[in-house]
Chains A and B, each alone.
Chain A
Amino acid sequence: DAKTTQPTSMDCAEGRAANLPCNHSTISGNEYVYWYRQIHSQGPQYIIHGLKNNETNEMASLIITEDRKSSTLILPHATLRDTAVYYCIVRLIQGGSEKLVFGKGTKLTVNP
């Protein structure tokens, strides 16, 4: 089962930053935080992942609290195409390539 808690839905104005929170209070030391999104029944799209340091790539930034019990995905300038379901996933890394377990995610709607 998913080990994360996310709001069911959020709204954001186009051009503004979208900050999507995720709670993962039971995360363990060898579990990473991954973010994916799914745009209207397309395949899930990888966004970013991290362990304990903040991460940034061309799509987003990931801020992980020092105690690792929560994180925030930041889309710095949301566009209408960022409307999607965003999944925060805690993934155990043990040396294989472990599966992802999806929860219900957050439905982000970017409004014009």
Chain B
Amino acid sequence: EPEVTQTPSHQVTQMGQEVILRCVPISNHLYFYWYRQILGQKVEFLVSFYNNEISEKSEIFDDQFSVERPDGSNFTLKIRSTKLEDSAMYFCASSERQGTSPLHFGNGTRLTVT
């Protein structure tokens, strides 16, 4: 069964550094998402992306965050200057089409900011 893949599985970075989290959505999917989950807390929506532009973003997704689909297969989340509070699991998701098509999630990247 096709799946969403995320790399790396674990990223350690120093405060103030830039990080790029990478995702390969399911190949025929058109809608892409990033979520994060701080340890012990809820899964939180960050941003959705369709047709090469952001569809919706949450309050968490401030100017330090950006997303890009640099080619036909990858979907990336960049954090420009990481803070300690950015430490979390970051999940990428994709869905096939409009309407009720479910989101399919990758297994995440654990980001640790020291």
Complex CA gap A1/B29 in Å reads 26
Q: 8 other contacts beyond A43-B91, A100-B45, A102-B42, with CB at 8 A cut-off?
A: A38-B43, A41-B37, A43-B105, A91-B100, A96-B98, A97-B55, A99-B56, A101-B45
Kindly identify which residue among B4, B48, B50, B56 contacts A43, using a CB–CB cutoff of 8 Å: B4
Q: Could you give 12 example pairs across A and B, Cβ below 8 Å? A: A42-B108, A44-B91, A44-B93, A46-B103, A46-B105, A87-B43, A95-B98, A97-B31, A97-B55, A97-B97, A99-B33, A104-B42
Taking the complex as formed, is B106 at the interface, i.e. its CB lies under 8 A from any CB of chain A?
yes
Size range of the interface on B?
A: 20 to 34
Residues in B with CB closer than 8 Å to A42 are: 107-108
For the A-B complex, the count of residue pairs with Cβ-Cβ distances under 8 Å equals 61
Taking the complex as formed, is B111 at the interface, i.e. its CB lies under 8 A from any CB of chain A?
no
Complex CA gap A101/B99 in Å reads 16
Once the chains bind, are B43 and A49 in contact (CB under 8 Å)?
no
Complex CA gap A76/B84 in Å reads 43
Residues in A with CB closer than 8 Å to B35 are: 102
Interface residues of B in 26-43 (CB under 8 A from A): 30-31, 33, 35, 37, 42-43
Once the chains bind, are B89 and A103 in contact (CB under 8 Å)?
no
Q: A41-B108, A104-B42 are in contact. Are A96 and B50 (CB under 8 A)?
A: yes
Once the chains bind, are B105 and A97 in contact (CB under 8 Å)?
no
Once the chains bind, are A102 and B98 in contact (CB under 8 Å)?
no
Report A28-66 CB contacts with B as 1/0, cut-off 8 Å. Answer: 000010100010011111100100000000000000000
Q: A93-B100, A95-B99, A96-B50 are in contact. Are A102 and B89 (CB under 8 A)?
A: no
Binding site for B on A (CB under 8 A): 32, 34, 38, 41-46, 49, 87, 91, 93, 95-97, 99-104
Taking the complex as formed, is B52 at the interface, i.e. its CB lies under 8 A from any CB of chain A?
no
Residues in A with CB closer than 8 Å to B98 are: 95-97
Q: A96-B55, A97-B95 are in contact. Are A44 and B45 (CB under 8 A)?
A: no
The residue on B at minimum CB distance from A51 is: B100
Taking the complex as formed, is B14 at the interface, i.e. its CB lies under 8 A from any CB of chain A?
no
